[in-house]
Every structure is written in C-alpha cells, then in structure tokens.
Structure 1
C-alpha cells in the first residue's frame, strides 16, 4: 500500500529519532500519537500533504478527541477485534488535558522536524499552545507508611525479598524503575556506595548513590539471590530473566493495597526527591542524581511540600533564629 506524503515523512522522522538513540518508550509515544493525527487528517479532512496542514486543523483535532473520548480512535481498526476497547470501564470517558498536551507536544516535535527539513511554507504548530492544566500535587509517603509497605513482602521467599530490596533501593536512590530493573551486580561499587546506571531515559550513563543501611541490605540480598539464580542481573525472576516493570508495579500495588496505601514506582522516586530536599539536600545535586536535563525540570517535578514541611524547614533555616539578638 502506497504511503501518503505525511506517512512517508513520519517514517523518515522515526528513523531520524532512532538514529538519535531515543528510547523505545519515546519512539512508541511519537509513533502512536502522530499516526492517530495523520489518520484524522486523512479520513476527516482528506489531507495527505504536510504543507496543507494548518493550525486550525490541529485545534479541530483536539476538539475531536475531547468530544469522542478515550479509546474511540485507534491506529488500526482491526485491533478493536482483538483488544475490545468498548469493554473497558473508562471507554469514551473524557481524555485528560495532560494527555492531550502530550499529544500536542509530539505533534509539535514532528512538524518542527518537517520545518527544519524545509518541507513547510508555514509551520502550523507556531501558534499552537498547550492547554492550561492545574498541577496535581504529589502525595508523599511517611516513614511509618514506608516501613509498613516493605513489611508486606514475604522476604523468606526469593520474590518477596527481591521486591522488598527493589522498593528500598528506589526510595534510597531516586532511580526510575526501568533503570533499577536493568542493574547488573558488577555495576555496584560497594566501596564508594554507588551504582552505575546504564539504561537511562536520555541514554546517558550516570551514577546513583546509596546509604550504609542500603549497602547492608544489598550484600545480604545478593547472597540470598545467588542461591536461587545464576545471572548477573540484580533483580531477576526465578527463571533468570529480567523482571518486567509491569510485574513489579503489580506486586508493589498489591502490597500497598493491603495497608490502604495507593503506591506506584514513580511515587517512590518522587518521595526520594521530597525527603532529599527536606533533609537539607540541594536541588542542583538532586537534579544530577535524578538524571534531569536541567534544574528547571527538577523544580517543576519535585517541589510539592505541605505547609507543615515548609514551616519546619523555615524554623531550621530562619536567619533571625540563628542570630544572637538580645
């Protein structure tokens, strides 16, 4: 089947992204969201060439998504016969503004690429703005909640002990779950208490650091692991394969549900960042540890403090409180 001009340029764009060594997750996000937009242009507006796309078409597409709802538009109609989206509990429910903004960002990246390649007389995304959203506050996990959480894992069994150590390591280092599950034992530096993280979001290796408490737990766990597995992976399955993100997420969620604590892996990364700052760490060091491209990214993602936390920090650092004024 012959590709339209827009479909051809999408394939070219994805090849360009692959050459830049972008992650599979990013490539998948680009491909899925941009393909859906191109399908809309082709079927609803009969547009197949880049230069015919206008800003108004992008705005119309956003309205179209908002009116139709979740899972009503797919890349391939045949997939509906396999996935049955109409059976989902959230089928046709409102698509969030956060999701729509993610679509818009991806569409922007694509058309900015076409603009740089000289394929556009006028870039349709120049006047497209993101939808204003109310930032959702991230809830922290207290010390008591965290201890209760890790106690839900049966660490007399291999998978329970493994899941407990993963959870502790995420809280102690701020790693992403994908980074954590890809660790091999040889990348752990016990002398300096740091781990080389190789599978990162930006494909740039970095070190994360862990505490003395974590060092003791890791040493104990590795001896335990070696009795059940024969792989250099730090957190394998019992079959020596890499534990999937989905599998750990489910086991963490199940543990949280047993104590009434909604929890997911990225929340542990958020919680590490929150307590790192509350304990006196600076945001510049935090940004490096997290592997962010800039401090601004860190500021926007991890500055959710309660009034009580802000008050506590103020009392610790108030200049006047430290001056000896009579």
Structure 2
C-alpha cells in the first residue's frame, strides 16, 4: 500500500465520522482511488502531498482525452464490473463528471490542509470547467396521465410503482429517499413525510409535504399493502424487503416503453421542481423541499424555464390583471 492510499483511508475515516451519506462516501472514494492510480502510473507520485497545480491540470487534460471506463482503480474490478459490456465504453467523459471529480479531490486537499499534512493547497486556483447546461427533460401532463393509465393496478408491483411515481411527482423526493420511507414516517393527517437523516443526501432529516389527492392514494395503498405483505417499508418489494433503486428504474423504463417515452426517476423530481416554480413557488422554499445545502444548487439546476413557460407563468401574475381583479 502506497502512502497516498493511507492518506485516502484517513480521509475516508474522517468523512465517515461526519456521518456523510453512503452515496457521498462512495463518490469520494471512487474519485480518489482513480486519481491515485493516475498519479502512481503517470507521474510516479506515491504521496498526495507532493501534488502540484501543474500535475492536476495535466490530470484534467487526461480525463478529457481518455474514454469512459478505460481506467479502473484496481484491475481485478474488471472481472466483476465488466466495463467491456457497457454501451458507453470509450465515450468522452462529460464536463459535469470532470467537475464532480474536481470538487471531490478539492475536498480531499482541503482536508489535508486542515490536518496540516500540507502547508499550501495546490488546488486553490483550480476552477470548474464552464459548460452549457441542457434543459431538464419535462414530461407533459397528458404523458403522465397516459403513463399511470397504462399500469395494471391489479398487480401488486405495478400498483406500488404507480403510487411511487405519484409520490415522486407530488413531493420532489429523490428515489433513494422515497424507497427508504417507513410507514411510521408517514403522517396522513398532516400530509407530511419525515425523511430520516440516514437516507438523505445531506445527512439531515427533513419534512416533505403532499396534496389531498396523494393523501387519498396513500391511504388506499396502505390498506392494499397490508393485505398482502408485512413490511415496515411504505413501498416494499413483493418479498417484503426494501425495494431496490435498480428494480424500480427497470420497471419505470418498461412502463415508459409502453407509451413511447424514455423516463427515469430523477425526471420526476425535475418535473416537480419545474411545476412548483411555474405555479408560483419561490426558490428558497423549493431549495428546502428538495434538501439542497445551498440555494445556488437549486438555481443552477432548475432555472431552465422556456419562453413559453415564462409566458404561461406571467399570465397568473400580471400586475395589471391582478389590480383589476382586486378592484372588482
């Protein structure tokens, strides 16, 4: 084991002590192990404290040039991950992915500075790469209605997935958060759901709220679920276990194919955010609902309203029209 591996281990222990989410821990570790492999193989650096700004900039260039999955942290992982079977093998790494790698590595070097392993942070002048954001894919009302109508509610898994879809659309929760909800987290009377800290991206508990329409659907779902399975999870598998994200994603993709659309869970969260803003909701409230650590994340992620969106939204908030309504 090289010194850089031990330094990464120490950083990961530090992150774990801060109770960061499993997803965040995995993102940090995967990024840093790949980076360590690059330093060892390319510039023969075995100590993270020996990194220079020039070395890191060369690393960014290498990321732009190499293809996806062409480098792994450990060769033995190829036997289990089978990168050769991936359809996007060799394709260019996206700018957003490179920026994510950069953020993760900068957190690592901030840790090294804080713990006095280094006297100066070599990544101080490193900035994220500017990139054009693609607008979030929007699912029209009729497509949602058509999707839900295509599902067979006489089958346990399809009825469950229908309620999950409606929950994602009505609350803006992440699919990982949604599948972790326990029955005891649900408050039907106050139309709220407690998302436990261990299941949220920021490792902080928060409440989300839902409509009267979803309240009725959830009440019916609970009665149905309890007839067939015994599980503390609100949306369990047929075998009463926690439903896995991959299983739901596969199901959702198949439901979408029935009506000729491509759909994935995060689209439903995106659609919630856009609909919330279009209905007059403010960014601060939306940021709290979505569980973002900073309102700038919300701003950067969900402000792709088209001219038509703005036109429709304006009609409800026209100053002159509202003054005339008030004067009647």
**TM-score, normalised with respect to structure 2:** 0.94
Partners of 2:241 and 2:51 lie apart in 1 by 46
* Matched position secondary structure for 1:196: strand
Query: For residue 12 of structure 1, what is the aligned residue in structure 2?
Result: 10
Query: For residue 257 of structure 1, what is the aligned residue in structure 2?
Result: 257
Partners of 1:120 and 1:93 lie apart in 2 by 36
Partners of 1:210 and 1:322 lie apart in 2 by 28
The 1:83–1:286 alpha-carbon spacing in structure 2 relative to 1, beyond 3 Å, is closer
Q: Which residue of 67, 70, 85 maps to 2:68?
A: 70
* Matched position secondary structure for 1:312: helix
Any residues of structure 2 matched to 1:120-269 within 5 Å, and which?
A: 120-198=118-196, 199-269=199-269
* Matched position secondary structure for 2:253: helix
For residues 132-168 of structure 1, what are the alpha-carbon distances to aligned partners after superposition, in whole Å with 9 as ceiling and x for unaligned?
1111101211111111111222110110100000000
> Within the alignment, does 1:281 sit opposite 2:281 as a pair?
yes
Q: Which residue of 111, 123, 145 maps to 1:113?
A: 111
Partners of 2:69 and 2:202 lie apart in 1 by 29
Query: For residue 79 of structure 2, what is the aligned residue in structure 1?
Result: 81
* CA apart distance, 1:86: 2.6
Query: For residue 306 of structure 1, what is the aligned residue in structure 2?
Result: 306
Partners of 2:111 and 2:64 lie apart in 1 by 26
Partners of 1:194 and 1:81 lie apart in 2 by 45
* CA apart distance, 1:288: 1.6
Task: Give yes or no for contact 1:50–1:119 (8 Å, CA) kept in 2.
Answer: no
Partners of 1:226 and 1:315 lie apart in 2 by 45
Partners of 1:294 and 1:75 lie apart in 2 by 32
* CA apart distance, 1:107: 0.8
Q: Which residue of 67, 72, 96 maps to 1:98?
A: 96
Partners of 2:7 and 2:316 lie apart in 1 by 57
Task: Give yes or no for contact 1:33–1:103 (8 Å, CA) kept in 2.
Answer: yes
* Matched position secondary structure for 1:207: strand
Structure 1: give runs of 5+ residues left out of the alignment: none
* CA apart distance, 1:122: 2.6
Partners of 1:4 and 1:164 lie apart in 2 by 50
* CA apart distance, 1:247: 0.5
Query: For residue 317 of structure 2, what is the aligned residue in structure 1?
Result: 317
Partners of 2:151 and 2:79 lie apart in 1 by 39
Partners of 1:126 and 1:273 lie apart in 2 by 34
**TM-score, normalised with respect to structure 1:** 0.95
For residues 236-260 of structure 1, what are the alpha-carbon distances to aligned partners after superposition, in whole Å with 9 as ceiling and x for unaligned?
1111100001110111111112212
Task: Give yes or no for contact 1:50–1:120 (8 Å, CA) kept in 2.
Answer: no
The count of aligned residue pairs is: 323
Partners of 1:88 and 1:284 lie apart in 2 by 39
For residues 68-124 of structure 1, what are the alpha-carbon distances to aligned partners after superposition, in whole Å with 9 as ceiling and x for unaligned?
211110011122234332332222111111111111111111111101111113311
Task: Give yes or no for contact 1:51–1:121 (8 Å, CA) kept in 2.
Answer: no
* Matched position secondary structure for 1:227: helix
* CA apart distance, 1:323: 4.2
Structure 2: give runs of 5+ residues left out of the alignment: none
The 1:281–1:83 alpha-carbon spacing in structure 2 relative to 1, beyond 3 Å, is closer
Partners of 1:206 and 1:85 lie apart in 2 by 37
* CA apart distance, 1:61: 1.3
* Matched position secondary structure for 2:228: coil
The 1:84–1:206 alpha-carbon spacing in structure 2 relative to 1, beyond 3 Å, is closer
